């Protein structure tokens, strides 16, 4: 188990929120909560698009929100909020997505249309 990246959600630049993010091998994890815990996992090869959002306050504090759009049934949009150096982290995730897709010979075009029901059988 090789943790390639990990961070916590931040509020005003401080890691005081109970949300953690980490990337292990071919999976991105998000764990939320203190007493009631919810953990989401998304295989990297399912990620279709990555977006980085920054408010003016985020830019001042060096933070950002990374939005991952994926072909996942339970969570087609995963937001990683309050991430330090969000641009570098988004590039790291994109590079890992490309590596995993090449390893398994998966192309993005094979997953397009998954949101519109294009792949459903009659």
Burial class (CB in 10 A: 0-12, 13-18, 19+), 16: exposed
In the chain, what is the greatest distance between 2 CA atoms, to the nearest angstrom?
A: 52
Pick the CATH number of 3-104 from 2.30.29.30, 2.60.120.10, 3.40.190.10, 1.10.10.1100: 2.30.29.30
Band (122; pLDDT cuts 50, 70, 90): very low
pLDDT tens profile 35-79? 999 999 999 999 999 999 999 999 999 999 999 998 877 778 999
Backbone angles phi, psi at 76, to 5 degrees: -75, -10
Residues 6+ apart with CB under 8 A from 87: 52, 64
The pLDDT assigned to 15 comes to 84
3-state secondary structure of 13: coil
pTM of the entire predicted model: 0.83
């Amino acid at each position: 188990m090789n943790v390639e990246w990990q961070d916590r959600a931040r509020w005003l630049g401080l890691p005081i929120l109970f949300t953690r993010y980490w990337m292990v091998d071919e999976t991105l994890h998000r764990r939320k909560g203190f007493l009631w815990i919810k953990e989401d996992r998304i295989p990297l090869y399912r990620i279709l698009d990555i977006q980085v959002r920054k408010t003016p306050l985020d830019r001042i504090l060096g933070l950002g929100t990374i939005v991952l759009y994926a072909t996942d049934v339970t969570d087609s949009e995963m937001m990683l909020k309050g991430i330090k150096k969000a641009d570098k982290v988004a590039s790291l995730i994109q590079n890992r997505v490309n590596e995993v897709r090449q390893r398994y010979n998966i192309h993005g075009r094979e997953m397009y249309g998954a949101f519109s029901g294009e792949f459903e059988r009659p």
